[in-house]
Chains A and B, each alone.
Chain A
């Protein structure tokens, strides 16, 4: 199911939580929602799930507005802070959610078994939710969101509180699900969006500041290419001076004298020219690494100003 967000706006008192944002998500796409705290991620998600009402604009699923059409059965939602009934055992809770979502009686048991397997809850399934560790609570939250096999998954910070192994597992899980469904997830863990999402949406102060894949964002953010080299065969200073003369090179700096490392910043990719120059001069090249602009830097660039 496709989601279309059009000119969405929401104001809390004097503060514009969401300010005229538009984007769309297609089936089979995982959209990562990035932004500093208070940027409007959660508000947007709450409006998409129709938990709160918008002020302006519209959210449409398959062309129908979420505030008039009933899409609750098509949406699986993991709210921020993952609220759960502490005194309910995991199995009972999942059954409760399945029944509320209208899963057919004959299928409830099967769905619960599937979710417990999928989310790795088998060892904890008879415990009360209040007794679970944060990571397991998060899994229960994911399980309840997916229990009715929804077409759309809205996950507000799905991996908070998980240990690194669990994070990898949950990411894999989301990726697998994302192939056939529409997924929107929010996070402020940057490597996470890169690892899981097909597309990244960065919002800041209620406005969209970037929209695209990690690669397109990188290209947009900086046109400079940084290349790291490890070269021997001549004095490092001479090498640097010579490389600095190549057309297109903006700067060439010695990073580390002991290991003969040089960093070259150029306005386009000149790896080939660099390589030829080195070969012609009879130097030995042992390392040549293109340095990618970090998503962190892009994020800081976009959200600090």
Chain B
């Protein structure tokens, strides 16, 4: 676990040493800020409700693009530059390596979300504010981010090209966000039920409504776990 932390520290530092971290955080805040506060049609003042639902919706979509951008280089670049050979011949096991990278991406998302606590404080003073539901919304965002990071890491482990990793992560994301949703709509019966269960959208919206169901938590955790395990498998399978 110490070694995962070593990896996470190094990855985080490399994001903050380059412009990547700052750019992503600024873009995230600009997007969510714009739609939450000043977009006019649909913002908080338009809805006249003291809640962060608009923010959660925008944040979900921003993270949907934001996370593949963080994870795309994590393994693909190591493969491309050959540093993966250095890492894997060091005294660290592959799982700890992936967990370290996962942690780095997750912490970066946490930092970005951390800035939005300002929104929370502001809105909570505007009117009748449901703290529980809002905290659930944040929990939902974190769980969903973890799942996206798992997917992103897996995509990055497939290739040594960052762009390919980014696009593959988006495609898998789209499948989980839309395709399963649509399929659930057109398919009836148990198959429809299955697609419904597989859709990220459904699980996220049920959490962000303020309902914490173990089903949803298990869903996001298993998606994360699957992503990490598959990345580990892809890296171990070489030569």
Interface residues of A (CB under 8 A from B): 46, 49-53, 70, 72-73, 75, 77, 79, 81, 83-88, 92, 96-97, 99-102, 144, 148
Contact = CB atoms under 8 A, between A and B. Distances in A.
Interface string B4-39: 001100100110011000000000000000000000
A100 B239 contact: no
Among B18, B83, B91: residue with most chain A CB under 10 A: B91
A97 B83 CA distance: 12
Contacts of B17: 87
Nearest to B97: A100
Contact of A99 (B3, B86, B88): B3
Contact of A50 (B6, B10, B83, B89): B89
B82 A101 contact: no
A49 B90 CA distance: 9
B239 A46 contact: yes
Interface in B58-107: 81-83, 85-92
Contacts of A77: 86, 89
Nearest to A74: B91
Contacts of A97: 86, 90
Nearest to B86: A83
A252 B3 CA distance: 69
B238 A72 contact: no
Nearest to B84: A83
B18 A75 contact: no
Contacts of B10: 88, 92, 96
Nearest to B13: A92
B91 A100 contact: yes
A96 B83 CA distance: 13
Contacts of A87: 14, 17-18
Given A79-B85, A79-B89, 5 more contacts: A51-B88, A52-B239, A72-B89, A85-B14, A88-B14
Given A83-B81, A83-B82, A88-B14, A51 B89 contact: yes
A187 to B, nearest CB: 19
Interface of B: 2-3, 6-7, 10, 13-14, 17-18, 81-83, 85-92, 238-239
B90 A72 contact: yes
Given A51-B239, A53-B239, A81-B82, A101 B89 contact: no
Contacts of B92: 72, 100
B89 A144 contact: no
Contacts of A46: 85, 239
Nearest to B237: A53
A99 B6 CA distance: 7
Nearest to A84: B83
Contacts of A102: 3, 91
Contacts of A100: 3, 6-7, 87, 90-92
13 contacts: A49-B89, A52-B238, A53-B239, A70-B91, A73-B91, A79-B82, A83-B82, A84-B83, A85-B83, A88-B14, A92-B13, A101-B90, A102-B91
B233 to A, nearest CB: 14
Among B2, B90, B92, B238: residue with most chain A CB under 10 A: B90
Among A49, A83, A88, A92: residue with most chain B CB under 10 A: A83
Contacts of A84: 83, 86
A274 B86 CA distance: 58
A87 B18 CA distance: 8
A87 B86 CA distance: 16
Among B18, B85, B86, B92: residue with most chain A CB under 10 A: B86
A4 B85 CA distance: 22
Give the 10 A-B residue pairs with the shortest CB-CB distance, closest first. A52-B239, A83-B82, A73-B91, A72-B91, A99-B6, A100-B90, A83-B83, A49-B89, A77-B89, A79-B85
B161 to A, nearest CB: 17
B83 to A, nearest CB: 5
A79 B239 contact: no
Nearest to B10: A96
Nearest to A103: B91
Given A46-B239, A100-B3, A83 B89 contact: no
Contacts of A75: 89
Contacts of B83: 83-85
Contacts of B82: 79, 81, 83
